[in-house]
Structure 1
Amino acid sequence: AAELGYLKDIASDKVIGVPAVVLPQGGRVKASPLAKKIAAQSGVDLRLLQGSGPGGRIVRRDVEAAGTRGGAVPAVAAPAVAGPEFEDRPLSAIRAAIARRMPLAKAPVPHFYVTSEVAMDRAWELREELNALEGQPKISLNDLVVRACALALMAHPGVNASFQGETIRVWHRAHIGIAVALEDGLITPVLRDCQAKSLARIAVEGRDLAERARARKLRAPELSGATFSISNLGMFDVTEFSAIINPPEGAILAVGAVRRVPVVDEAGLGVGRRLALTLSCDHRVMDGAMGARFLQDVKRLLEEPLRLLV
């Protein structure tokens, strides 16, 4: 006997048992020419009928029977979903380390955030000019940000500082951690003494650190000792975001994508390149005004980029 589906006849408020639909393999409907004609005239969908003719063929009486049921649609069994609903993946060593560190970073450290928009038109042009020079290292936008932060940290030592419980330790050298995304997590190699490095040297050493980080060839001392960090998600077209401070550092700068946006200046309406920078600060180390002054200097250096070459 055919398996039954169950539908309610709205006119009689009765539940009617009807054959459940099983479509022929390949999706073709076997029906007699007369059955097809009657179905077309009466608006019956042949795909929803169970044939009673030879080999399951739909014949006239099947279509007429469907018509007497008021065009009721037989119930169609939902296809079964194969495979498990989820999988549990073990933590990689890097992900496990992040899982241990982040609660210690976010919960005890009172974060506050300041954001500024930077006009990057002149910095963009300078970078293109430098990268057109033969025999010189290629400069990335992140290299410009690192150089600007190194100079600003020397001008605002209170940002280049760490909370030590009973004291605040102010660092005299800028060791900048540069976040590098890996498939299984995030790693932050440290570019040391950035305050003493030229833009070209920052570009060369920063690229070397990033390449060795992706190849898992960093040495342990290259992963510790940062006094400040930079996290850049601009390559993922992220407009802006807030990063989590990595203690004992007192701040971290989040760098978004450089965007082309409408701008209004003395010349009227035009298109300019803009970059959002968000500084996350440890409120135990500094107040809002100190963080804002530091970010203001970073903005000024990027908008007057020749200063980065001095």
Structure 2
Amino acid sequence: GEDAARLRQLLAVEAAEAFLRLLAIDARRDATAAFVASLRARLVETEARAAAGKALDSDVLKLRLELESAQLDLDGLGRARVVAAADLGRATGGEDPVEPHWDGRYDRDLSPQLADLVARAVAERPDLRALEQRRRALELEAGAVRASRLPRLEARATFTATAGDPFRPDALTQGAIAVAWNPFAAGSRRPQAAALNAERAAVDADLRELRRAVEIEIRDALARLNTARAAVAVRARGVELARETLRIEGERHRAGRATTNDLLDAEAALRRQQTEHRLAQLDVLRAWIHLDLAVGTNGTNGG
């Protein structure tokens, strides 16, 4: 039924959220793993420079501490990923952990409009359809009750053959029209019709309220989508800036004009920006999922 269809949609969104949580952990884990690899390479280089008297032992110590801290973060993310994979397995109806498969696409080449989405929701959402069907059924039932209160005409016709009788025509056709009406039944129908009208009015009120709630839900989901899309562009510029800053700090460090702390800060900033950029992409994907749920479809077509 309609309730079961809506429940399946809600369960699908729950599984999608578990999927996105796992992808978010992977985004942080990938960025942290890249940071760890970079720190290791930088530590080897700095140790060689320190052995040649071109770098301070304190720089080596700072790199080792930063590497140990980043490795601890990476280990923690690995444990969190195990839990998230198990959660995804349960959300998809299984007992075993599930590995996510994502091709990296997070947006659709669509610009959905609010009015089109609301109209689509009226046709697609199971809860709205169920109320609309109930309202129509009550209208039909009330119409049948009203019709039963009115007099009705009943026509009857007979044909009699009289072949061989010299005193009558060869055939005789008889017809009759009768009016059928039970005035006492009309009195019992009136309360029944009133009850149906009251129930239909209540369903109409529920339908109007649900439509308003759906419009608000769609409006909110659409705003989240637009905000998430804008955030992706901002985060992409942040990655470019952080990468350029790291390049400059690396040159300054090699020239002796920047400290190891400056270099580590620039490297950590790039790591953060890359992570935020990936998380912003996942927010766009999440916004589409919630917009689909609000509209009641598996893929929203924009106008």
Q: TM-score band, normalised by the shorter chain?
A: under 0.3
TM-score by length of 1: 0.22
Greater Rg over alpha carbons, structure: 2
Q: Which has the higher contact order (CA 8 A, sep 6+)?
A: 2
Higher strand share: 1
Higher helix share: 2
TM-score by length of 2: 0.22
